[in-house]
Structure 1
Amino acid sequence: MNRPNLDLALIGNCALSALIDRNGRFVWACAPRVDGDPLFSALMDGDDPEHGFWDIQLEGLKRVDQAYVRNTPVLRTVLTAEDGAAVEILDFAPRHPKHDRTYRPLAFARVVRPIAGVPRIRVRLRPAADWGARRAERTAGSNHIRYLCTGATFRLTTDCPVSHVINERTFRLERALAFFLGPDEGYDQAVGPGVALALDRTVAYWRDWVRTLYLPLDWQEAVIRAAITLKLCAYEETGAIVAALTTSVPEFPESGRNWDYRYCWIRDAYYVVRALNRLGAVDLLENYLGYLRNLVDASGGGHVQPVYGVGLEAEIDERIVETVAGYRGMKPVRVGNQAREHLQHDVYGQIVLPLVQTLYDQRLVRPGSVEDFHALEKVGERAFALHDQPDAGLWEFRTIARVHVYSSVMCWAACDRLAKAADHLGLAPRAEVWRERARIIRERIEAEAFLPDEGRFGASFGGRELDASLLQLTDLGFLDARDPRQVETFNAIERDLKKGPYLFRYVEPDDFGEPETAFNFCTFWFIEALHQNGRSDEARAMFEEMLNRRTHAGLLSEDIAVETGELWGNYPQTYSLVGIINCAVLLSRSWTDVR
């Protein structure tokens, strides 16, 4: 039952997060930031790790039931023994108003309650240090234990006898116990009532946040869970949004495609804020825009990396660690990401598009200004200059450089949106400049990427290969879905990239050979395209198939095995959750249907 898998539930508070398996065992968490050293590393360290986890074992375990408390990331696990004895575990990371600000400590809390019979339990708390190389050193007091982890020292405060935890002793659970694993400082109140109050306030916070969302009529449970999880993938202190919370879960077995996704990709974050904006979650949008403005200022109109650290760091150099075995023993385990060295020209469009919204959106505390527009023009200049230059593309090829159509269309979108924004601001001469630049890019794409003999677009200038990102030409406003050129492009993608009910990014060999798993976000793109092509019943059926592939926690990873439906790749993947929201909004019945 301890074999690593991705059927994991997420808890968090926008400062730190943890993944918990079906038995209620913490198997992954990094501190003091999402891109830091793993405090819990069991996900990356084999079937029976010696450390890097936190579990609560029930003697005579027979059954486990696990689900979220409704509309929250508070996880409830019920362990039932063969004799009927049962315990309830409530896991959460506190997040609620306190002293006129949001309280989101670097802390996890657990409440363990007996709910039937006379349960006997054992608590094993074994944090890791030095990237899983060893158990964290510990010292103990009368009601706390200190763990010296790498980058942070954590203190467990509890009303459970400390010696039970230290000695991992099996004991009768006769009353509710509270555990607070947080900063190395005193807990300023009785831990039982304090954790109970934090639990109530955390539940209230998340339910209030969900109430602010504008939901489609159908598939609300899936949308709510996706929205909560996307919010948990934000590092609120800076506004960064990470692509996923794990590193080095391979795209398929023994593929070597093991990447560290615990950073902020401009592209991924663009799709996240667009999806949440459709639900009215302006808080996440606004916070990310601050992160983006800081990156724009730092670039000074020059090169922008595709990915940065959550603290705006440019230096996230890739390295391999040997101190953990890897997911199911599959190496390498990477820390950092080489993509930070890449040229990926689509990033300029993905900067312009969300920041242009600030010039229109009156909900924002800080609406955009004419000065912001002129600063954004520097990004547009960069997009125009690079629209026909080779790059690594959105799939981040490490040894292949082409003029990718997706990148060029994103550069076109940057110029197109700047023209519209200039009109909105009454800057007619600037609007004309950007319209002309958008026209130049469009004509170049149509001349270099269109294949007259097939009536479709290729994925690169002068190339015939197909790429699922060509489906985005409609979403970006470059082509209407019914344009014959886009229809033929869609038909070719369906013919060559669709395998069963899923879609591949591409099928040509890349730096690591031929892909073997479908890419979940691309499947959602295809579902949208099906609907746009008038095949809505097929789109809904395909969407239901994807919903059925979610974990019990309602989440998805990056990739899926066509034959088995097993999830692969880093988890939970923001791209995939964005797809759930976008498709649900697009395919749902109207609220007027329930009048």
Structure 2
Amino acid sequence: MDEFRPLEEYGLIGNLETCALVGQDGAVDWCCLPYIDSPSVFADILDPDEGGRFSVTPSGEFEATQQYMERTNVLQTTFETESGTVTLTDFMPVIEERENEEPQRRGIYRQVACTEGTVELDVEFSPRFDFARAETTVESIEEGAFASGDDRRLFLSSPVDLDTDGDGATATFSLDAHESAWFTLGYMMHTPDDDENCEALLDRTVDYWREWAHSCDESECLFGGVGHDHVVRSELVLKLLYYRETGAMVAAPTTSLPEDPGGVRNWDYRYSWIRDGSVTVRALTGLGHVEEATGFVDRFLEHSREGDTAEVQPLYGVEGEIDLEEEHLDHFRGYLDSQPVRVGNEAADQVQLDVYGDLVLAYYQRFWSDGGEISDENWESLSGIADYVSEHWDDEGAGIWELRGEPRQLVHSKVMCWIALDRILDLADRTGRDGPLDEWRDAHEAIRSSVLEHGYDEEVGAFTQSYEGTEMDATGLLIALSGILPFDDERVVSTVETVQEQLANDDGLVYRYEDDDLEGDEARFVFCSFWLVNALVAIGRTDEAWTVFENILDYASPLGLIAEEIDAENDRQLGNFPQGFSHIGLVNSAMYLREGDYDWANVDPLGGPTLVQEGDQEDQQGFEGKELTQESER
């Protein structure tokens, strides 16, 4: 029985429609086709016996390393064997429809090239459609193999003859130095099997990523010094989680990678959360990628205009689907034997009042990118949000952690409602827009008074998770960044210190909360650990913040990828992988740590400071913006 591969030994490739995980053994162990929230075709990461894989691997023993081609999402796995060395290059072309050109081919492109000696390689092609629930048929064709199942088709173009056994295909072949071979797996249509066409697509894909990702003189870059390369990799990961067709931002490309190995904390993150997308947008905007921000904000403001604002869900499918019914795949073992394996997510039906603050913060960033103008449609959406929040801020809910027990009066949710009104009122002042401003101001003050009276526990010395109890929650760190109190207020400082004492370890890795209503335990939550960095900066402990930041970076994979959680005791990553929240946190903490040029009156509690200063809204292009460049000693 095959063992499960550590998450740190996977790389991610994608095409802004879907993604694939490629292991250090050369196996595609996870891929959903044709879209990121479609049923899987390869799912060995969830079940090494039944999930399905597509591997190109040396026949004998080998040592492997992985790297990305510089400033791209093109992955290279190098195998060192006793007889020689080969490099496997994996990528998915980003679909760009160009005038007077045939549509580009969708697929996974794999080139294996021998650079030294002679290497024998094994190929295994064993797709399993519909999460391995559909009958799969694999047949030999002249160019390679044809697979079908669940009304879906795959075409594998192979340079070597494949042996098929009905539900899979295999081959063994050798390459000598300076020889190479292309395997192309197409879906929806055949992929080109001509080496020249494949090389051209590789070049075009490399160019696409390098033109999109930032380039800089690191000595003059805002993010120069510690963490620079991690920021660049995070930028590229976040782009892979962007579903270009609709502007959706996906939380992670995987489902049911466990927070607690062997336990039940296994969730499907292949959807677009308002919260996750909002902070992703603000990170990408800070990096100069305004197009992604525009698409996301427009999409969710449109949702808020459709019917009652209360109908805005915390999450949607990438095409805007609202029915994300949860089901269990009981036939899968689950990663590290963790069940249930879930697809769908019933959190879509929860009340999460904090998402209104997230959406307003995303628009607030967009407002500056738009030159300080608000369209009539967008003001209509913002007004609807302000009306709804004014009436419902004191409702109970599930909150940011999507707690599955009884709804509660959650402190963070109320703070985010306050932020929603705070930023909308600020926008009204700046633009002269009208509305029931007095009612919004009354609610704005009522929320603040309620949070300060009921959210802070004198005996605990901190803002707690809810009005009903004294349990600590990492969201207390965001009080320091919300603007509801000054940074140096003793209640803010005490909350940061209490979170450190009760929820953080010596490296600064933070648990989300003390307890919830589920069985088992979870590991340290990476996003919360970056919140600690930001909060420490806010209260003036920058040196300490740098130490925590560098400690977190030490847990990134060799490729710079980070999962949802870190099991510090066993030095491993857990949860869905790679996680957008984690990479957002990295980018935004890098911004906080270089806060010298920022306007801290516009702090964004989940993301970073608003990267526009009063009276200077020009040339704000992230890495290249002259106002964002400063010297750093680190």
State the one-letter code of the partner of 1:21: G
| Alignment-derived partner of residue 206 in structure 1 | 209
Q: Which moved more, 1:249-258 or 1:159-168?
A: 159-168
Deviations 1:235-272 (A, max 9, x none): 11111111111111111122211111111111111121
Q: In structure 1, the residue corresponding to 2:299 is in which secondary structure?
A: helix
State the one-letter code of the partner of 2:535: A
What is the CA–CA distance in structure 1 between the aligned matches of 2:584 and 2:316, rounded to whole Å? 20
Are 1:6 and 2:7 counterparts? yes
Q: Which moved more, 1:523-532 or 1:128-137?
A: 128-137
| Alignment-derived partner of residue 624 in structure 2 | none
Q: Are the equivalent residues in 1 in contact too, given 2:397–2:408 (CA < 8 A)?
A: yes
What is the CA–CA distance in structure 2 between the aligned matches of 1:534 and 1:360, rounded to whole Å? 27
What is the CA–CA distance in structure 2 between the aligned matches of 1:230 and 1:485, rounded to whole Å? 35
Q: Are the equivalent residues in 1 in contact too, given 2:461–2:498 (CA < 8 A)?
A: no
**Structure 2 vs 1, CA of residues 212 and 414 (structure 1 numbering), >3 Å: closer, same or farther?**
farther
Listed as ranges, the matches of 1:560-571 within 5 Å are 560-571=566-577
What is the CA–CA distance in structure 1 between the aligned matches of 2:95 and 2:131, rounded to whole Å? 31
Are 1:559 and 2:559 counterparts? no
Match of 2:486 among 480, 501, 514: 480
TM-score by length of 2: 0.87
Deviations 1:317-367 (A, max 9, x none): 111112221102221101111111211111111222212444432379xx6
Listed as ranges, the matches of 1:106-121 within 5 Å are 106-121=106-121
What is the CA–CA distance in structure 2 between the aligned matches of 1:136 and 1:186, rounded to whole Å? 19
What is the CA–CA distance in structure 2 between the aligned matches of 1:129 and 1:164, rounded to whole Å? 17
Q: In structure 1, the residue corresponding to 2:294 is in which secondary structure?
A: helix
What is the CA–CA distance in structure 1 between the aligned matches of 2:96 and 2:174, rounded to whole Å? 36
What is the CA–CA distance in structure 1 between the aligned matches of 2:318 and 2:417, rounded to whole Å? 25
Are 1:90 and 2:93 counterparts? no
What is the CA–CA distance in structure 2 between the aligned matches of 1:19 and 1:513, rounded to whole Å? 29
Q: In structure 2, the residue corresponding to 1:169 is in which secondary structure?
A: strand
What is the CA–CA distance in structure 1 between the aligned matches of 2:315 and 2:188, rounded to whole Å? 32
What is the CA–CA distance in structure 1 between the aligned matches of 2:77 and 2:559, rounded to whole Å? 12
1:371: Cα distance to partner?
3.0
| Alignment-derived partner of residue 41 in structure 1 | 43
1:444: Cα distance to partner?
2.0
| Alignment-derived partner of residue 316 in structure 1 | 324
What is the CA–CA distance in structure 1 between the aligned matches of 2:345 and 2:632, rounded to whole Å? 48
1:495: Cα distance to partner?
1.6
1:119: Cα distance to partner?
1.7
Listed as ranges, the matches of 1:411-450 within 5 Å are 411-427=417-433, 430-450=436-456
Q: Are the equivalent residues in 2 in contact too, given 1:252–1:561 (CA < 8 A)?
A: no
What is the CA–CA distance in structure 1 between the aligned matches of 2:47 and 2:459, rounded to whole Å? 52
| Alignment-derived partner of residue 337 in structure 2 | 329
Query: Where does the alignment leave 5 or more consecutive residues of structure 1 unmatched?
Result: none
Deviations 1:528-570 (A, max 9, x none): 1122223222222221111111112211111122312211111
1:107: Cα distance to partner?
1.4
What is the CA–CA distance in structure 2 between the aligned matches of 1:580 and 1:500, rounded to whole Å? 19
Q: In structure 2, the residue corresponding to 1:211 is in which secondary structure?
A: coil
1:26: Cα distance to partner?
0.6
| Alignment-derived partner of residue 512 in structure 2 | 505
Q: In structure 1, the residue corresponding to 2:36 is in which secondary structure?
A: coil
Aligned residues: 588
| Alignment-derived partner of residue 80 in structure 1 | 80
| Alignment-derived partner of residue 353 in structure 2 | 345
Are 1:370 and 2:379 counterparts? no
1:391: Cα distance to partner?
0.5
| Alignment-derived partner of residue 604 in structure 2 | none
Q: Are the equivalent residues in 2 in contact too, given 1:91–1:108 (CA < 8 A)?
A: yes
Q: In structure 2, the residue corresponding to 1:131 is in which secondary structure?
A: helix
Are 1:177 and 2:181 counterparts? yes
State the one-letter code of the partner of 2:278: Y
Query: Where does the alignment leave 5 or more consecutive residues of structure 2 unmatched?
Result: 597-628
Deviations 1:154-197 (A, max 9, x none): 2123444455997523222253211221224244x552111110
Listed as ranges, the matches of 1:147-296 within 5 Å are 147-150=147-150, 152-162=152-162, 168-174=170-176, 175-187=179-191, 191-211=194-214, 215-218=222-225, 219-296=227-304
Q: Are the equivalent residues in 1 in contact too, given 2:95–2:106 (CA < 8 A)?
A: no
1:150: Cα distance to partner?
3.6
1:54: Cα distance to partner?
1.0
Are 1:130 and 2:130 counterparts? yes
State the one-letter code of the partner of 1:403: Q
Q: Are the equivalent residues in 1 in contact too, given 2:567–2:574 (CA < 8 A)?
A: yes
What is the CA–CA distance in structure 2 between the aligned matches of 1:45 and 1:171, rounded to whole Å? 27
Q: In structure 2, the residue corresponding to 1:139 is in which secondary structure?
A: strand
**Structure 2 vs 1, CA of residues 122 and 50 (structure 1 numbering), >3 Å: closer, same or farther?**
farther
1:139: Cα distance to partner?
3.0
1:438: Cα distance to partner?
1.3
1:133: Cα distance to partner?
4.0
| Alignment-derived partner of residue 98 in structure 2 | 99
Q: In structure 2, the residue corresponding to 1:26 is in which secondary structure?
A: strand
Q: Are the equivalent residues in 2 in contact too, given 1:273–1:284 (CA < 8 A)?
A: yes
Match of 1:520 among 522, 526, 529: 526
Are 1:543 and 2:549 counterparts? yes
